[in-house]
Amino acid sequence: MGPVRQPVFRGTAPALVTPFTPDDRLDEAAVRALVDFQIGGSPFEGEPFDGVEALVVLGTTGENPTVTDDERRRLVDVVLEHTAGRVPVVVGTGTNSTAHSVAYSRQAAHAGADGLLVVGPYYNKPTPAGVRGHVAAIADATDCPIVLYNVPGRTGSNLTAETTLAVIEAVPSVVGVKEASGDLGQIADVIDGAPDGVAVYSGDDALALPTVALGADGLVSVIANAAPGPVAEMIRRALEDDVAGARRLHYGLLDAMRASFFESNPAPLKAVLAAQGRMSPALRLPLAPLTPAVADRVLAAYADLIEAGRVEGGG
């Protein structure tokens, strides 16, 4: 009999932004407020919705390449302390260095993370054997469950369905896959081949509905940062086979999904969160603020969600 696996969550997890102050420090107050907003949910089109099922810290949207080691440790501690077990917390610990990934994974597990998000190593372009070895080394260093993360548009290297399923077979700690290849055929092959207890999550808001329809277990979301309630409700309805209800929410959110990538993520999203009054739009170089023309387009696409999520006295 194979290993008994248990997914970290089913439903929606925002890939949280990392708030910075205008003078480039970690904004701990904004982190705590964002956690509460995600778990508490938000309204949309006059309807109140419950919040998300999990949180992801230090993913792509969290600007993880430019968060320092000290900030990383503090951010994880703040999120775990403030979440206080209300939902699971998954921490991004994967890099293109196996040794660094192991060290970050040990730190996150020691802090109390419920899972580790391990991206396919970027820039190096490892072979499938290299990917298996990389993930196995992380698994050997900690008992924390692992969610693989395939995002070839960022890493320059696609984890094919064959490679992903081989890693799952070789590493029993893998209990999930965040698939952001944009290839529904490949995603379907992963869903079809994944063993019981291994969840597959869409890594693309705009493809979340069809991905869940193919049998996926949820979404790791960008736009949930600004709209946790309606995004989580869309996924809940999709998981419950309420296609009409999920489709209505999908089309209501589609402009915002597309606008989130008018320029590199998370620049559009931070502009929206700033307009809601939740944090500064500050980014870390080499990311740069939105150009004024793009900012206008992003805020127009998010107009209803900005109003629904606006903090009293903010924005």
pLDDT digits (tens, 9 = 90+) for 295-308: 999 999 999 999 98
Model pLDDT, residue 66 = 96
Q: In the β-sheet with 174-179, what is the strand arrangement from edge to edge?
A: 11-14, 218-221, 199-202, 174-179, 146-150, 115-119, 89-92, 55-57
Model pLDDT, residue 45 = 78
Task: Tell me, yes or no, if 270 is annotated catalytic.
Answer: no
Summary mean pLDDT of the chain: 95
Task: Tell me, yes or no, if 178 is annotated catalytic.
Answer: yes
Check pLDDT > 80 for residue 183.
Answer: yes
Asked whether the beta carbons of 300 and 266 are under 8 A apart, the reply is: no
User: CATH number of the domain at 11-257, please?
Assistant: 3.20.20.70
Domains of the chain by residue range: 11-257
Model pLDDT, residue 158 = 95
- Report percent pLDDT > 70 for the chain: 98
Question: Rounded to two decimals, what is the model's pTM?
Answer: 0.95
Nearest to 219 by CA among 233, 201, 206: 201
Check pLDDT > 80 for residue 2.
Answer: no
104, 149, 201, 302: which one is catalytic? 149
Q: What is the pLDDT of residues 192-249, one digit of tens each?
A: 999 999 999 999 999 999 999 999 999 999 999 999 999 999 999 999 999 999 999 9
Model pLDDT, residue 302 = 96
Q: What is the pLDDT of residues 39-77, one digit of tens each?
A: 998 878 778 899 999 999 999 999 999 999 999 999 999
Q: What is the pLDDT of residues 113-134, one digit of tens each?
A: 999 999 999 999 999 999 999 9
123, 125, 178, 201: which one is catalytic? 178
pLDDT band at 161, cuts 50/70/90? very high
pLDDT band at 309, cuts 50/70/90? confident
